[in-house]
């Protein structure tokens, strides 16, 4: 079964500390993974996708097929990074996204 | 970037009534839209895939007679919650992919609406 798991509901760090939001997936075949972010009172928006290997707002994520993981990392957290983060996987021919449970990142001053 | 708009943003209705939520792609065409349901501080649960000109594809466990989806044009999909009950109270979010701008169907970015909060009394 296709599944995305984010084991942490809440991650709280101090400003300037490194951040790693965990994501594991279950998928038969070559997965296409994304991270979406939802800031307070805003709509969900794309943060990054694994195929483009880009870095957005200092965040990076590497697909590790051996560990079936796609953890989101940032070396130095900022207060404005506080938001809900969702890991997602594309499924099927229609391109529907399957989301993980989400992790709330709280960056304290 | 591409914009997806939902209307209404919030709605309160009495138990037993039906409520329609609209999802529009404002500056692009979307042959496929997706409807999600989100409970407070929880994940987005995919309800159905809305296909322009054909029937929607529902996820397992989602009642198609309860949640009617119509995708009459390339820019509009509607979700109607029929005979609403308090347990239907939730945040409903739609999304669409701009295939023209985003490359393949599997890699193009999904754009999300702002969501519609339904409260059934």
Which tens digits make up the pLDDT trace of B59-101?
Answer: 999 999 999 999 888 899 999 999 999 999 999 999 998 766 5
If DSSP codes are grouped into helix, strand and coil, which group holds residue B87? Answer: helix
Confidence class for position B108, pLDDT limits 50, 70, 90: low
Distance CA B16, CA B33 (A): 27
What contacts 24+ positions apart, CB below 8 Å, involve A39-45?
Answer: A39/A82, A39/A83, A40/A82, A40/A83, A43/B93, A43/B112, A43/B113, A43/B114, A43/B115, A44/A86, A44/B44, A44/B93, A44/B95, A44/B112, A45/B112
Subunit contact A94:B32, Cβ cutoff 8 A:
yes
pLDDT value at position B107?
A: 58
**Option in A32, A94, A100 nearest B107 (CB):** A32
If phi > 0 it is left, if psi is from -120 to 50 it is alpha, else beta; for residue A95 that is left
Confidence class for position B109, pLDDT limits 50, 70, 90: confident
Residue of A nearest to B58 (CA): A96
**Option in B44, B57, B107 nearest A99 (CB):** B44
Name chain B contacts of A40, Cβ cutoff 8 Å. none
**Option in A44, A93, A101 nearest B42 (CB):** A101
Residue A26 pLDDT greater than 80, yes or no:
yes
Name chain A contacts of B41, Cβ cutoff 8 Å. 9, 102, 104
Q: How far is B22 from chain A (nearest CA, A)?
A: 16
> Which residues of B lie inside 8 Å of A (Cβ-Cβ)?
32, 34, 36, 41-46, 49, 51, 57, 93, 95, 97, 105-110, 112-115
If DSSP codes are grouped into helix, strand and coil, which group holds residue B97? Answer: strand
Q: How far is B80 from chain A (nearest CA, A)?
A: 20
E strands, chain B, where?
Answer: 4-7, 10-13, 19-25, 32-38, 44-51, 57-58, 67-73, 76-81, 90-97, 110-112, 116-120
pLDDT value at position A52?
A: 76
- Cβ–Cβ under 8 Å, residues B84 and B13: yes
Confidence class for position A9, pLDDT limits 50, 70, 90: very high
pLDDT value at position B84?
A: 96
Q: pLDDT tens across A40-91, in order?
A: 989 999 898 887 777 789 999 989 999 999 999 999 999 999 999 999 998 8
Locate B110 and state its tokens: 């999904």
- Segment B35-54 mean pLDDT: 88
pLDDT value at position A35?
A: 94
Q: Of B52, B47, B25, nearest to B118 (Cα)? A: B47
Pairing of β B116-120 and β B110-112: unpaired
A58-69 burial, b if ≥16 CB within 10 A, otherwise e? ebebebeeeeeb
Q: Of B117, B96, B68, nearest to B5 (Cα)? A: B96
The percentage of chain B sitting over the pLDDT mark of 90, rounded to a whole number, equals 68
């Amino acid at each position: 079964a296709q599944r995305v798991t984010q084991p942490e509901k809440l991650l709280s760090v101090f400003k300037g500390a490194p951040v790693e939001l965990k994501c594991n997936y279950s998928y038969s075949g070559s997965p296409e993974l994304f991270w979406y972010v939802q800031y307070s009172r805003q709509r969900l928006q794309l943060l990054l996708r694994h195929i483009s290997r880009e870095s957005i707002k200092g965040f990076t994520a590497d697909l590790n097929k051996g560990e079936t993981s796609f953890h989101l990392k940032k070396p130095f957290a900022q207060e404005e990074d506080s938001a809900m983060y969702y890991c997602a996987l594309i499924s099927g021919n229609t391109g529907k996204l399957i989301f993980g449970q989400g992790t709330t990142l709280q960056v304290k001053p | 970037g591409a914009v997806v708009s939902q209307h209404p943003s919030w709605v309160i209705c009495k138990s037993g009534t039906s409520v329609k939520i609209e999802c529009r792609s404002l500056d692009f065409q979307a042959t496929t839209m997706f409807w999600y349901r989100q409970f407070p501080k929880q994940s987005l649960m995919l309800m159905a895939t809305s296909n322009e000109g054909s029937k929607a594809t529902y996820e397992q466990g989602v009642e198609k007679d309860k949640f009617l989806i119509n995708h009459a044009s390339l820019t509009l999909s509607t979700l109607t919650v029929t005979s609403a009950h308090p347990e239907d109270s939730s945040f409903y979010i739609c999304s669409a992919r701009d295939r023209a701008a985003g490359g393949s169907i599997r890699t193009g970015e999904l754009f999300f609406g702002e969501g519609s909060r339904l409260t059934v009394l």
